[in-house]
Amino acid sequence: MSSSSDKQRRRRRHRPSPHSTDTWKDTVQKVGLEVLGDIRASSPTLRAFRENGLRLRESYDALRRALQRAHKQNAPQRLQHGPPAISTDVNRLLKDIGSRKESNLYAAGALVFGFGLFIAGAAPFLLPACYLIFAAVCFPWRVYTFTKRKWGFFLLDFCYWGNLATVAFLLFAPHNQQLGAAVYALADGPLAAALIAWQSAWVFGSTEHSISVLIHLLPGLALFAHRYAPVPESLQHLWHHMFGGTQLAAPADSAGVFWIFGAPLIFYMVWQLMYFIIVQVLCRQFIRKHGYDTSYNALARRAAKSNNIWNRLVRKGSIARRVCMYGLVQAVFTISVLTMFIPVYYSFYLSFLWQVVKVVFPVYYGAQYQCEKVPKHAVLKALRAQRAATEAAKM
């Protein structure tokens, strides 16, 4: 009897109380699951959502298994052939970008720039001689290359006639004060200001860019040195003793305003008239028929790309109006620059500052071209080479 009572007491001790926390949790969870199951079974939306979730999970598992199998199958091939196909294409593209020739040209351009800075600082009296050597070498080369590319009419541009006047002055009349003032105004006025107006880029790796910049830069720099940095007396005596010529020192006396402004303007007007007669009248049909390019066409294309106010002003109306507006803009630019050059001619400090400015701007434009345009051109060039190779292989 006692044993049965003990068993009943143990059952009561282990039986959970209806008011305990565990009992209520289990009951609520059970009832909630039953209610949720009834809702799922009775709601078609929830049932469809559950079925879509199951299908998505099955698709994900199948895709993961397929990727794992493909990775295992391609592992020996990757070890044998190296990087994947996209890396191979990138490597081929990188091989087509740049060349040893371009590296050599860039190194040569950098050395020319450094040599010019050294001469300008250590022996500025040698700048006229360096300019004459440059003219003797680069001008015949430019005549040959431009004629070959049908760019021969570019040789009639104002910059080449300004260089021709500078060379003639340094060789035949280096002590003529009035002629020196006129040529100096031409070389360091509109000829040098064109570097900034047309944003000429001094790209060390490009022969064409470097020669174009030096054609506009060196004449004024050489005449600045001729005016303010004469040859030392010891070298003058050596020159006189060896060759029996006259002294090389340039006079530093000031010339009249006519020779600084009037004479260069007359020179420009004569050139503009002759250029218009030759290019726009006499040889117009020949240029169109044989596909020759001119500075007007090149500058018009460049202005069209920028689409600035000058492009909208000049490229309106008929062809005759465009040509006249182009010449008028050039004339206004030349007159403005010659007017501003008058105080520069009479001041050494303004002249020196102008030499620095006209060197800094082309170098900056060249750096901009090198960092922004050259990589794009190189990639496009490599893509064209690959496309041509692919088409040739298909044929």
Q: Which helix (H) or strand (E) holds 169?
A: helix 158-172
b/e map 206-221, b = 16+ CB within 10 Å: bbebbbbbbbbbbbbb
Residue 90 lies in a domain: no
Report whether pLDDT(172) > 90. yes
Long-range contact pairs involving 137-142 (C-beta distance under 8 Å, separation at least 24): 138/211, 138/214, 138/215, 139/163, 141/211, 142/211
Query: Is 155 within a domain?
Result: yes
| φ, ψ dihedrals at 178, nearest 5° | -65, -45
Residue 280 confidence (pLDDT) above 50 = yes
Residue 270 maps to a domain = yes
- The CA distance from 315 to 322, in Å, is 6
Q: Both ends of the chain: CA-CA distance in Å? A: 109
User: Is 97 in a helix, a strand, or coil?
Assistant: coil
∠150-156-157 over CA atoms, to 5°?
105
The lowest-confidence range among 1-5, 23-27, 34-38, 125-129 is 1-5
Residue 185: the pLDDT is 95
Q: What is the pLDDT of residues 282-339, one digit of tens each?
A: 888 888 888 888 887 777 777 666 666 666 666 666 667 777 877 888 899 999 999 9
pLDDT for 121 beyond 50: yes
Give percent of the chain above pLDDT 90. Answer: 36
Distance CA 282, CA 377 (A): 37
- Average pLDDT of the chain is 79
Angle (CA) 197-200-205 rounded to 5° is 175
pLDDT score recorded for residue 247: 44
Mean pLDDT of all residues in 28-33:
64
- Domain limits for position 280: 123-387
Structural domain includes residue 65: no
Digit-coded pLDDT (tens) for 188-241: 999 999 999 888 999 998 899 999 999 999 999 999 999 988 777 655 554 555
> Does 5 fall in a domain?
no
Give the pLDDT band of residue 136 (cuts 50, 70, 90): very high
Given a contact cutoff of 8 angstroms between Cβ atoms, the answer to whether 143 and 115 are in contact is no
Q: What is the pLDDT of residue 322?
A: 75
More confident residue, 247 or 263: 263
DSSP state of 278: I
Q: What's the whole-model pTM score?
A: 0.69
Alpha carbon of 357 to those of 5, 48, 85, 340, 348: distances in Å? Answer: 115, 76, 50, 15, 14
Q: CB burial class (10 A; 0-12, 13-18, 19+) of residue 39?
A: exposed
Lowest mean pLDDT among 40-44, 57-61, 280-284, 358-362: 40-44
Within a domain: residue 7?
no
* Interatomic CA distance for residues 151 and 292, integer angstroms: 6
Backbone angles phi, psi at 250, to 5 degrees: -90, 140
The backbone torsions φ and ψ at residue 175, rounded to the nearest 5 degrees and listed phi first, read -110, 5
Write a three-state SS string for 222-257.
Answer: HHHHHHHCCCCHHHHHHHHHHHCCCCCCCCCCCCCH
Q: Name the least confident of 123-132, 187-196, 246-255, 373-382.
A: 246-255
pLDDT at 45: 62
Q: Is the pLDDT of residue 40 over 80?
A: no
pLDDT class for 249, splitting at 50, 70, 90? very low
To which H or E segment does residue 134 belong?
helix 127-148
Q: Tell me the pLDDT tens digit for each residue of 253-265.
A: 557 889 999 999 9
Res. 85 pLDDT band, cuts 50 70 90: very low
Question: Is residue 152 one of the residues assigned to a domain?
Answer: yes
Q: Calculate the alpha carbon distances from 29 to 32, 40, 390 in Å.
A: 5, 16, 69
Which one has a higher pLDDT value, 243 or 72?
72
DSSP character for 280?
I
**Encoded tokens for 161:** 């006639």
**Range scoring the smallest mean pLDDT among 51-60, 169-178, 330-339:** 51-60
Q: Quick check: is 395 in a domain?
A: no
Q: What total of structural domains would you count in the chain?
A: 1
Check residues 65 and 263 and name the one with the higher pLDDT.
Answer: 263
CA 283/CA 153 separation, integer angstroms: 10
| Cα pseudo-dihedral 106, 110, 113, 117, rounded to 10 | 180
